Amino acid sequence: MKQFVFALALGATTLASTVATAAEKLSLNEISSYMNSFATAQADFTQVNDDGSLSTGKLYIRRPGKVRFEYDPPHSGLVLAEAGTVAIMDPKSNQPPETYPLSRTPLSIILARNVNLGRANMVVGHGFDGVSTVVRAQDPKNPEYGSIEMMFTDAPVQLRKWVIHGSAGETTTVILGDMKTGMSFKSSLFSISRPRRDR
């Protein structure tokens, strides 16, 4: 079940598309505006777990506060966030889902109603690697929950990858395919009480 937990990295590579050759470092305001420009998003993802293993699947986001990681076989698990709770569901287990507060995950920064990377002590790293802008952020009130390192390309601005740095030093990388935004999702897609895969 660890591979599902690492999708959110609870607190207690190569890009898939060609990037512009004249890339420039994005400001925190530009990135915040981009994150706040959409309420829904969908993308394929590849996850590199802390032990080096790989998982693939589909990611669905509905801000504020909702996310669905739908893992491909052989894992076929689900990670859902809804109403401030994260549920980790392992189809191979007879146990009920593990649940945690969403606020304890660095991914809550992305899922916030209003993303404000200019907030005091939230951003602990802001750089440019010649291709992408890399921002490392944490909950300023609870830095012990870990941090999220996000990679953005420009022209147009797009989130391409994130790395979760957990409180115990573990890292999990999620590489995104082309992210589509602006679609409509049924609320049941994120329902912890009805987590069927065929919604």
Pairing of strands 171-176, 40-48: antiparallel
pLDDT tens-digit readout, 147-161? 999 999 998 999 999
Q: Report the amino acid identity of residue 88.
A: I
Gap between the Cα atoms of 143 and 11, Å rounded = 9
Residue from 94, 158, 96, 95 nearest 131 by CA: 158
Pairing of strands 180-181, 171-176: unpaired
pLDDT tens-digit readout, 26-46? 999 999 999 999 999 999 999
pLDDT at 1: 52
Q: In what helix (H) or strand (E) does residue 3 lie, and over which residues does it extend?
A: helix 2-5
Q: Are 23 and 154 in contact (CB under 8 A)?
A: yes
For domain 2-12+21-178, which architecture applies?
Clam (2.50)
The domain segmentation of the chain, as residue ranges, is 2-12+21-178
Q: How far is the CA of 130 from the CAs of 27, 28, 108, 133, 175, in angstroms?
A: 14, 17, 28, 8, 18
Gap between the Cα atoms of 194 and 54, Å rounded = 27
φ/ψ of residue 69, rounded to 5: -100, 115
| Prediction pTM value | 0.84
What's the whole-number average pLDDT of the chain?
87
Residues 6+ apart with CB under 8 A from 71: 3, 4, 55, 56, 57, 77, 78, 79
Residue from 65, 62, 51 nearest 5 by CA: 51
pLDDT tens-digit readout, 85-140? 999 998 888 888 899 999 998 989 999 999 999 998 999 999 999 999 999 999 99
pLDDT at 90: 87
